Structure 1
Amino acid sequence: MDRIIAAEVYNRICELGSLSAAARALGMSRPMVSRYLEQMEKWAGARLIHRSTRRLTLTPAGEKTLQKTRNLARLSQEIEGQTQRNTPAGVLRVACAHFTAMQLISPILPDFLARYPQLRLELDINNHPVSLVGERIDVAIRITDNPEPGAIARRLGECRSVLCAAPAYLQQRGTPDTLAALADHNCLHYSHFAGQAWHFSDAQGESHSVAVQGNLSAGISSLLLDAALAGCGIAMLPWLEAQHGLESGALVPLLAGYQPKSLGVYGLYLSRDYQPGALHLFLDEVQNRLISPHT
């Protein structure tokens, strides 16, 4: 058996605390992972892991071996990375929500794939967070205030929102001039946020919240955009989603003195030691999209 692969498997077992989790993360069968662990113990000449029904614990020899296998993995990646940084290849599995796929990833795809023809992207588009280990995801792009614990979170930028409505709706229902006035309007909700409250900051940086209600909620912002354009109500939309409607006059921004709360955009992955060569190149592209949305 390949000792470098055996070291990689051992590192994953230690990192995830389970042979089954390591098998899922590496795309191997559990018996294969067990065989690589046995190979590592033969190589080290000592028992490396105490196995029990509840958890795995490292022996003193296992602790020392882990330090060495991590160094071996880094050295292997440095050698491999000299080529991969210039010509990444293979598969990069990316998890994201519908908005992220359409507004952040879709615009960068033509140039990115043309520059790296040996790379294949697999997008798992799901508006509910997926397990990075269970679904064998290399990186997830998430818009959140609270990146999940246990993952490495690289902040790529922020997702700004705008409060807006169609002129036809405002002509019929009037234009709100205070946050409190939103309670008298049909507000189109994003259903994945807990509670039906919208959060703002004023020019002095003070936070404000207002409870809202309406006859439509959806987990896809593009549907809320379509409803707002059709005059169904007031929506809080990602600026990238609403941009065209605002610039064309099909949507009107509201309550200029209050800025809807922004959320962070993060690239989440499980380990600094096991990354496809394209991972950081891909995250760089998403970050550039957030910095320069018109390019």
Structure 2
Amino acid sequence: MDRFDAMRVFARIAERRSFTQAANDLSLPRATVTDAIKALESRLGVRLLQRTTRQVTLTLEGEVFYGRCLRLIADMEDAEGAFRDTPPRGPLRIEVHGTLARNLLFPRLPAFLDAYPDIELDISEGDRYVDLVREGVDCAIRVGELRDSDLIARRLTLLAEATAASPDYCKRHGTPTSIDALEGGHVMVGFKSTAIGGLLPLEFQQDGHVRRITLPTRVRVSGADSYVGAAFAGFGIIQAPRYRLDDYFAAGKLLPLLEPFPPVPRPVNIVYARTRLPSPRLRAFIEWASTTFVSEAALVLSRES
């Protein structure tokens, strides 16, 4: 294994904190990865990785070398791409919220795959916040305000949201005509957010201000599909992106509430680790997403971005 490939192996181990996971990512035998690091440390005359029974961590020398490896790898990929004049290629791991993937990302992906036939996408979905570096994810598409300062973010758009409840709920509790009326016997479906570690309040825009109200709740969920499902069952008021609710409004399965006081639009960002220089395939995906991740019926474009 040459020095450049050994640096790739070292960088992936540093990111995954595991010899085995790095070997799987790179499609290499575990023994080959181990031998490459031993040879690299012997050539440099320093220990780069601290191994324990549970995880692998960087030494101080390893931290310094890791940063230099990232720059060298990125420079080499750019140089090779420029001289070969070949399009970006290889695997790209993306994390995205499931409903966002199914409703907004997947319908647009054929255009990206046609433009970059040598890029292979590995898309995982979930409601939790993943550690991009430790879990080997190249980028994530996230909805809501970002909390992780170690990530570089690029704004894609803003999601318009709506307030809704089932017809049965409105029969039992009444249809609120003002924000103040919510506190007179109304309940909400509680959405447990991993971002804030608690239930998300309802948000309304009124006279240039944002009002946040947390109503009583008897049903609490942590998944987007369960959240809408609980509203169908009449368990309370919800707020969700309009792209998820408009069809249900049209079918009469849910009713829009308090439309003069819409929720605050939620930002959609594509994020990647600050410690990882973007590869040509990641840069291609970011540029594509920034220009195509829009839908006139579901999204409100940010004029500030």
TM band (smaller chain)? 0.7 to 0.9
Matched, 1:199 2:203: yes
Matched, 1:291 2:290: no
Query: Superposed, which structure 2 residues align to 1:103-142 within 5 Å?
Result: 103-142=103-142
1:237 counterpart residue number:
240
Q: 3-state DSSP class of the match of 1:142?
A: strand
Percentage of identical aligned residues: 24
For residues 41 and 122 of structure 1, do their structure 2 counterparts lie closer, same or farther at Cα, with a shift above 3 Å needed?
A: closer
CA shift at 1:240, angstroms?
Answer: 1.7
2:301 counterpart residue number:
none
CA shift at 1:256, angstroms?
Answer: 3.4
For residues 144 and 81 of structure 1, do their structure 2 counterparts lie closer, same or farther at Cα, with a shift above 3 Å needed?
A: farther
For residues 258 and 219 of structure 1, do their structure 2 counterparts lie closer, same or farther at Cα, with a shift above 3 Å needed?
A: same
Matched, 1:190 2:191: yes
- Gaps in structure 2 of 5+ consecutive residues: 299-305
Native 8 Å contact 2:160 2:242 kept in 1: yes
Structure 2 CA distance for aligned equivalents of residues 30 and 163 of structure 1: 52
Native 8 Å contact 1:162 1:259 kept in 2: yes
Structure 2 CA distance for aligned equivalents of residues 83 and 202 of structure 1: 56
- Gaps in structure 1 of 5+ consecutive residues: none
CA shift at 1:188, angstroms?
Answer: 2.6
CA shift at 1:19, angstroms?
Answer: 6.6
1:4 counterpart residue number:
4
For residues 251 and 22 of structure 1, do their structure 2 counterparts lie closer, same or farther at Cα, with a shift above 3 Å needed?
A: closer
Structure 2 CA distance for aligned equivalents of residues 39 and 273 of structure 1: 24
Structure 1 CA distance for aligned equivalents of residues 235 and 85 of structure 2: 49
Which one of the candidate residues 261, 265, 272 is aligned to 1:262?
265
1:227-260: CA deviation from partner (whole Å, max 9, x where unpaired): 5456654221112211333456654432234332
Query: Superposed, which structure 2 residues align to 1:1-295 within 5 Å?
Result: 1-11=1-11, 16=15, 20=19, 23=22, 27=26, 32-41=32-41, 46-47=45-46, 49=48, 56-58=59-61, 63=64, 69-82=69-82, 87-167=87-167, 169-183=169-183, 184-192=185-193, 194-195=198-199, 197-205=201-209, 207-228=210-231, 233-246=236-249, 251-270=254-273, 273=276, 275-294=278-297
1:164-187: CA deviation from partner (whole Å, max 9, x where unpaired): 234564355322123232232242
Structure 1 CA distance for aligned equivalents of residues 177 and 221 of structure 2: 26
Q: Which amino acid aligns with 2:5?
A: I
Q: Which amino acid aligns with 1:164?
A: A
Native 8 Å contact 2:9 2:36 kept in 1: yes
Native 8 Å contact 2:41 2:47 kept in 1: yes
Structure 2 CA distance for aligned equivalents of residues 25 and 131 of structure 1: 18
CA shift at 1:5, angstroms?
Answer: 1.4
For residues 80 and 162 of structure 1, do their structure 2 counterparts lie closer, same or farther at Cα, with a shift above 3 Å needed?
A: farther
1:7-52: CA deviation from partner (whole Å, max 9, x where unpaired): 3344556x659675993795467764453344445555x4364858
Structure 1 CA distance for aligned equivalents of residues 41 and 242 of structure 2: 55
For residues 110 and 294 of structure 1, do their structure 2 counterparts lie closer, same or farther at Cα, with a shift above 3 Å needed?
A: farther
Q: 3-state DSSP class of the match of 1:187?
A: coil
For residues 71 and 188 of structure 1, do their structure 2 counterparts lie closer, same or farther at Cα, with a shift above 3 Å needed?
A: closer
For residues 113 and 293 of structure 1, do their structure 2 counterparts lie closer, same or farther at Cα, with a shift above 3 Å needed?
A: farther
CA shift at 1:268, angstroms?
Answer: 2.7
Greater displacement, 28-37 / 86-95: 28-37
TM-score, normalized by length of structure 2?
0.73
Structure 1 CA distance for aligned equivalents of residues 16 and 138 of structure 2: 19
Q: 3-state DSSP class of the match of 1:185?
A: coil
1:184-239: CA deviation from partner (whole Å, max 9, x where unpaired): 2242332336135223332323x322121344433333444355456654221112
TM-score, normalized by length of structure 1?
0.75
Q: How large is the Cα RMSD of the aligned pairs?
A: 3.9
